[in-house]
């Protein structure tokens, strides 16, 4: 692939399956990014092992050691910036970020959320989708803004909801789609097909990401 590699840093809190999906695309030569580091706020995050096995630098920054969210976020910025990423990828990073952090990385901070935003921001999205008896559900990749799970949408994937679905079954169906759309959204960013405008809109320079 001739495109210049986009330097990224990935933030995780647990399983890391979205990070792994991104890593697989990179290793397959389909995603022109350089994953410079993976950072977790939890030392037990399984995703850290995928990074270590791939020879990617890892860091643990335990939020419980910080009494103030702002101090934690400033430490996080220091670690991230050491790697000079052009994109910071939140992949199951289960921390609410300060406005200061979000503004610092505005336009180069992406998140994936397991619902069709603006439906079901926050936690337990699959359970809530079932309780609300909606007929479809899904996942959203968006630029991060100060509104939690409220940033401008880059890509969404829909899945049907079936009669006998449980939150776990539905979560698996959604996760399969997450693993497709997150690498796709990052690819679009790497190819400069999308960016965030100053007034908070996603600008699409080609029609490949609708
Ligand atoms: C994913 O389902 C992701 O969408 C969700 O956490 C899970 C992480 O899984 N993120 C959020 O809920 C953020 N609001 P993973 O660690 O296997 O990628």
- CATH class of the structural domain 6-204: alpha beta
Which residue, among 71, 77, 84, 75, has the nearest Cα to 34 in the 3D structure?
A: 84
Q: Please indicate, yes or no, whether the overall pTM of this predicted structure exceeds 0.85.
A: yes
Q: Is residue 16 part of an annotated ligand binding site? A: yes
Q: Is residue 128 part of an annotated ligand binding site? A: no
48 contacts 129 by C-beta, under 8 angstroms: no
Q: Is 179 annotated as catalytic?
A: no
- Spacing, Cα 92 to ligand 1 middle (Å): 4
Residue 91 main-chain phi, psi, to 5 deg: -125, 80
The catalytic position among 59, 63, 113, 142 is 113
Q: Domain limits of the chain?
A: 6-204
Reported as half-sphere exposure (CB side, CA atoms, 13 A), residue 80 has a value of: 24
pLDDT tens column, 142-189: 999 999 999 999 999 999 999 999 999 999 999 999 999 999 999 999
């Amino acid at each position: 692939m001739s495109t210049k590699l986009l330097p990224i840093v990935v933030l995780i809190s647990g399983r890391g399956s979205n990070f792994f999906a991104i890593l697989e695309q990179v290793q397959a030569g389909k995603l022109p990014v350089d994953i410079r580091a993976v950072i977790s706020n939890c030392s037990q995050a399984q995703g850290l092992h995928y990074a270590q096995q791939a020879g990617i630098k890892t860091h643990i920054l335990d939020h419980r050691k910080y009494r103030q969210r702002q101090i934690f976020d400033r430490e996080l910025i220091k670690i991230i910036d050491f790697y000079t990423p052009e994109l910071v990828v939140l992949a199951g990073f289960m921390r609410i970020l300060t406005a200061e952090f979000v503004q610092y990385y505005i336009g180069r901070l992406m998140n994936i959320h397991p619902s069709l935003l603006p439906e079901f921001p926050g936690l337990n999205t699959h359970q809530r989708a079932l309780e609300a008896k909606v007929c479809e559900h899904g996942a959203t990749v968006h630029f991060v803004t100060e509104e939690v799970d409220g940033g401008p949408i880059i890509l969404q994937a829909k899945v049907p909801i079936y009669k006998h679905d449980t939150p776990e079954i539905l979560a698996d169906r959604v996760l399969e789609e997450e693993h497709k759309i997150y690498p796709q959204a990052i690819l679009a960013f790497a190819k400069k097909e999308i960016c965030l405008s100053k007034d908070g809109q996603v600008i699409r320079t080609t029609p490949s990401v609708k």
